[in-house]
Structure 1
């Protein structure tokens, strides 16, 4: 006996006529102001609560020296979140900005100024973008151990498009200023 599809079940793609591919995305999160771990956990929760987003991995937490930040900036806590999503890259970027705003991120003209929360899109599938509001893959990810190391922990065989295998990139930049915090953990609730 063969099964036939239930004609009474209608899915969203049938209603809209859209077929949206599922893409793997890599998000880097960081904080160096206020309750840093609480901000990272809040970001993980908000990402997981986003419709059409499925969290597939959360890296260990690293404490890192500020890179390119104003003098006197505090250390960051950093992690990487892997997701599968059917959202378009620009919609995912809008969500990342909304999450930052929810944690009272202040934007200034000072590059790399301290922040309560930073949510960066590193990779969204094979999407490429050079728009000022959306640069994919992230243009500086290949130079940042605080992105590469947590990503490597989750996907050691991953490749950063247009840059190469993250294992090789991590070897090239080294681990100076990046320390694993075994005492801190992020959970998907």
Structure 2
């Protein structure tokens, strides 16, 4: 079994519906869902703001590559087009981190298909803030060491943190279980 932290985002079409499609596909595998945040696009490409959230999920049959395939299938179902790096997208599903049965983070840094944990996660407030909302004690493997996400967030520029704004939108009606 693996537990995955998924960062989901959308800035094209019905953004909220695209994010909800991830929860619909996950079903009972969903452990926790963050609030929805609005954020400016990252990467310098001119485009509309994103809706972002973090979902924590578990599946006894999934390994890290199964999570990758799952996310890619959801992106394809949402008609995601990959033309411009960091460009606009209907749906983006990033695997931030996977952990095995023992809770040990899976690290992959030599496979170009899947790098874990996500190499840019420590630099992105739009990942760390929603993640902290569902699991404030979470740690992320950075350069081989488990670091509290609260520390990583504190190291980011204040303007980066201030650009992640909580909305009143919800991804599901019932309360998420705690991590």
Name the counterpart of 1:168. Answer: 151
**1:71-104: per-residue Cα shift (whole Å, max 9, x none)?**
2x10000000001122111111011100000000
What is the CA-CA distance between 1:23 and the residue it aligns to? 2.4
TM-score (normalised: structure 1): 0.81
Which structure 1 segments of 5+ residues have no match? Answer: 1-21
TM-score (normalised: structure 2): 0.85
Is the partner of 1:48 in helix, strand or coil?
helix
Name the counterpart of 1:186. Answer: 171
What is the CA-CA distance between 1:29 and the residue it aligns to? 0.1
Q: Distance in 2 between matches of 1:48 and 1:149?
A: 23
Q: 1:3-152, aligned counterparts within 5 Å?
A: 22-48=1-27, 54-71=29-46, 73-86=47-60, 87-108=62-83, 110-125=84-99, 126-130=105-109, 131-152=111-132
Deviates more, 1:142-151 or 1:167-176: 167-176
Name the counterpart of 1:10. Answer: none
Identify if the C-alpha distance between structure 1 residues 160 and 188 changes in structure 2 by more than 3 Å, giving closer, same or farther.
Answer: farther
Q: Which runs of 4+ in 1 moved over 2 A?
A: none
Identify if the C-alpha distance between structure 1 residues 147 and 42 changes in structure 2 by more than 3 Å, giving closer, same or farther.
Answer: same
Which structure 2 segments of 5+ residues have no match? Answer: 100-104, 175-179
Instruction: Specify which of 119, 135, 138 is matched with residue 155 of structure 1.
Output: 135
Aligned length: 161
What is the RMSD of the two structures over their aligned residues, measured on CA atoms?
A: 1.5
